[in-house]
Chains A and B, each alone.
Chain A
Amino acid sequence: NAGVTQTPKFQVLKTGQSMTLQCAQDMNHEYMSWYRQDPGMGLRLIHYSVGAGITDQGEVPNGYNVSRSTTEDFPLRLLSAAPSQTSVYFCASSYYLLDTGELFFGEGSRLTVL
């Protein structure tokens, strides 16, 4: 099983450039989310989606856009990269109205903005 797949695994950008981090899941999960992980700060929620066409902001949404056109895919867009966006990004998914706390995570995308 592929689970949650993130691409690319590594990316270096210059300030002001744009890019999209891809996330795909093959578990038919309604809920998908993006987190960023910075040293010593745990994971912080950027955006999440509870189904196709429905997205909402998390704790740190500024500088990021998302869309959810299909159940499987949830791309994260950086419109104008800044050094403060240097981080490791994780995509996670689960069933909606989950009767547990479990999220399924991808392996992460490490982004460096120069």
Chain B
Amino acid sequence: GESVGLHLPTLSVQEGDNSIINCAYSNSASDYFIWYKQESGKGPQFIIDIRSNMDKRQGQRVTVLLNKTVKHLSLQIAATQPGDSAVYFCAENHQPGGYQKVTFGTGTKLQVIP
């Protein structure tokens, strides 16, 4: 039978549309929440982060929303382009006593349809 966890959730979006990628996190004590992009065969690349005392942060074409009540994080990509096709990971950065501990989610694959 099929093993759990081998297949990433996939989001297919038409080029030019907006994309919304969601993530549920577990640690209420995390200091930062981060989104990373990973292209095939490469290491993860930082996109944007948000401090735990914020609700929204905007970057270039990207917006991250944080809902601490339901422990939910989302990444919005405006006017999605073919170059946005990748796996996107949310991550939590907990800094107990200054030490960093970054924990990653399982990822969402974004497919951009030309």
Residue in B7, B49, B107 whose beta carbon sits within 8 Å of that of A101 in the complex: B49
Binary B-proximity of A40-74 (CB < 8 A = 1, otherwise 0): 11111100101000001011000000000000000
B5-A40 in contact (CB<8A): yes
- Residues from chain A with Cβ under 8 Å of B102 in the complex: 33, 45, 92, 101, 103
B5-A102 in contact (CB<8A): no
Q: In the complex, A41 Cα to B99 Cα: how many Å?
A: 24
Asked whether A108 is an interface residue with its Cβ less than 8 Å from the other chain, the reply is: yes
Report the minimal beta-carbon distance from A74 to chain B, rounded to whole angstroms: 14
A42-B104 in contact (CB<8A): yes
Interface size class of B (residues with CB under 8 A): 20 to 34
Residue in A40, A92, A94, A102 whose beta carbon sits within 8 Å of that of B8 in the complex: A40
Interface size class of A (residues with CB under 8 A): 20 to 34
- Residues from chain B with Cβ under 8 Å of A43 in the complex: 44, 89, 104
Report the minimal beta-carbon distance from A3 to chain B, rounded to whole angstroms: 9
- Residues from chain B with Cβ under 8 Å of A94 in the complex: 100
**Nearest residue, chain A, Cβ from B49:** A101
- Residues from chain B with Cβ under 8 Å of A35 in the complex: 104
- Given A40-B8, A100-B32, A101-B91, answer yes or no on A108-B42 (Cβ-Cβ < 8 Å): yes
A42-B101 in contact (CB<8A): no
A98-B5 in contact (CB<8A): no
- Residues from chain A with Cβ under 8 Å of B104 in the complex: 35, 42-44
Asked whether B82 is an interface residue with its Cβ less than 8 Å from the other chain, the reply is: no
A108-B43 in contact (CB<8A): yes
Residue in A31, A39, A42 whose beta carbon sits within 8 Å of that of B100 in the complex: A31
A105-B43 in contact (CB<8A): yes
B7-A40 in contact (CB<8A): yes
B32-A101 in contact (CB<8A): yes
Asked whether A75 is an interface residue with its Cβ less than 8 Å from the other chain, the reply is: no
Given contacts A96-B98, A100-B32, 11 further A-B contacts (CB under 8 A): A31-B100, A33-B100, A40-B107, A42-B89, A42-B105, A42-B107, A56-B99, A58-B101, A94-B100, A102-B34, A103-B46
